[in-house]
Copies of this chain bind each other. A is one copy, B any other.
Amino acid sequence: MKFSQRICSMQASPIRKLAPYAAEAKEKGKKIYFLNIGQPDIKTPQAFFDAVGNFKNEVLAYGSSEGDTRLIDAICNYYKDYGVELGREHVFITAGASEAIVFAFAALCDPGDEILVPEPFYANYNPFSQCVSAKIVPITTRAEEGFRLPSVESMEEKITPRTKAIVMCHPGNPTGIVYTREEMERVAALARKHDFFIIADEVYREFVYNNLEYVSFGNLKDVEDRVVILDSVSKRYSACGARIGCVISKNKELMAQILKLCQSRTSPPTLDQEGAVALYSTPKSYLQEVNKEYEKRRDIMYRALKDMSGVICEEPKGAFYMMVKLPVDNAEKFIVWMLQDFDLNGETVMASPGEGFYATPGLGRDEVRLAYVLKEQDLSRAMEILKAGLEAYPGRTAPVIAN
């Protein structure tokens, strides 16, 4: 019996594939600090649970395929504060940003069509594109260059007649990059010149540090008709389990096409939309406090890593991840070793292997993605453990030099 080539060639999620090793370690009584997954420990606003508890209909019915109008209005309202004027017709609610991505890919790409993505990138773009048989074409960026976009010329080399879109994760997962307006306009100019879409994954838009200005792709007027924004409440309000996201575009024809996909799966979850409506009335101060908290965590992780012999990384400016080069023979081997063979007083750390965040073969083999989603004290402890693990790891590739 044969399965599809698309599924056989799919790599397991680097964020989740090592979960069985973690489960095994846990069973043996080890405490694990999870830095592999972007699961914040911040309390979900109580308003979510209250709204869900207040649901009074006797029948938990399908909602509208476009999503709950109150939630759509709340999202339009949210974007208004950022200078992006949206009408109800520009927003459809989806099952997390994940569904929004698949919808965008399916609507823009036929089998063999190409999607540009600066790499390293959110690993799940791979299976999402493979699901619709589209091809990810990576634009390599490097830690040493702060993961900045390359020149127009070297980006243009990757464009073919089959290029249908570029995915811009902004702020970037896993690099933490926040693009400058100039970089964004470089992308916009290419999109206009070569007639492709910009799929802007802006789920981390509230996580920007160093008082940097954040510009949304929705703010670029001259590509208004070729921008698709993906968004979600998951990270913004620490409500990952709600699976509520949205797809946004001012291109009416595109939205008419995407509506067919929305209708095919009937509707997003009803109760979670109730909760999400309430989330959007959370005072802005919540987001500011969360932002401050993450900036503190970022500082703790970055400083600790800078202090580890042989570790190479850049200060991330947004989101809550870092791509980190480790002095190890193979990052995946190292992570498994940390789970199976290492502990510091019964505790260890789990990271995501970096290779899965690259499309170019061979890249990222000695890198990991770390999420700084734990409380200060836990994060500091996790860094101690990582440091000790790196020093003890048999596959270490560089001598330990005391700072």
| Interface residues of A, Cβ cutoff 8 Å to B | 1-8, 10-13, 15-17, 19, 37, 39-44, 48-49, 52-53, 55, 58-65, 95-96, 98-99, 102, 106-111, 113, 124, 127-128, 131-133, 164, 195, 197, 225-226, 238-243, 251, 253-254, 257-261, 263-272, 275
Whether the Cβ atoms of B240 and A8 lie closer than 8 Å is: no
Contact of A243 among B95, B113, B164, B253 (CB under 8 A): B95
A58 (CB) vs chain B CBs: closest residue: B43
A191 to B99, CA, bound (A): 32
Known: A5-B110, A98-B264, A271-B52. Contact between A39 and B12, CB under 8 A?
Answer: no
Whether the Cβ atoms of A261 and B127 lie closer than 8 Å is: yes
A254 (CB) vs chain B CBs: closest residue: B3
Name the distance in Å between A149's Cβ and chain B's nearest Cβ. Answer: 23
A242 to B266, CA, bound (A): 11
27 contacts between A and B (CB under 8 A): A1-B195, A1-B254, A3-B253, A4-B107, A4-B108, A4-B109, A10-B261, A13-B260, A16-B266, A37-B62, A43-B58, A44-B58, A44-B59, A49-B55, A60-B241, A61-B240, A95-B243, A98-B264, A124-B265, A127-B264, A128-B264, A131-B131, A132-B133, A241-B267, A241-B269, A241-B270, A242-B269
A269 contact set on B, CB distance < 8 A:
95, 241-243, 269, 272
Contact of A261 among B131, B251, B259, B268 (CB under 8 A): B131
A16 to B262, CA, bound (A): 10
A272 to B10, CA, bound (A): 29
A63 contact set on B, CB distance < 8 A:
241
Name the distance in Å between A10's Cβ and chain B's nearest Cβ. Answer: 5
Name the distance in Å between A101's Cβ and chain B's nearest Cβ. Answer: 9
- Excluding A10-B257, A16-B263, A132-B133, 10 further A-B contacts by CB distance (< 8 Å) are A4-B107, A6-B106, A6-B132, A44-B59, A60-B239, A106-B131, A124-B264, A127-B264, A131-B261, A133-B133
Whether the Cβ atoms of B241 and A61 lie closer than 8 Å is: yes
A238 contact set on B, CB distance < 8 A:
59-60
A12 contact set on B, CB distance < 8 A:
259-260, 263
Name the distance in Å between A8's Cβ and chain B's nearest Cβ. Answer: 7
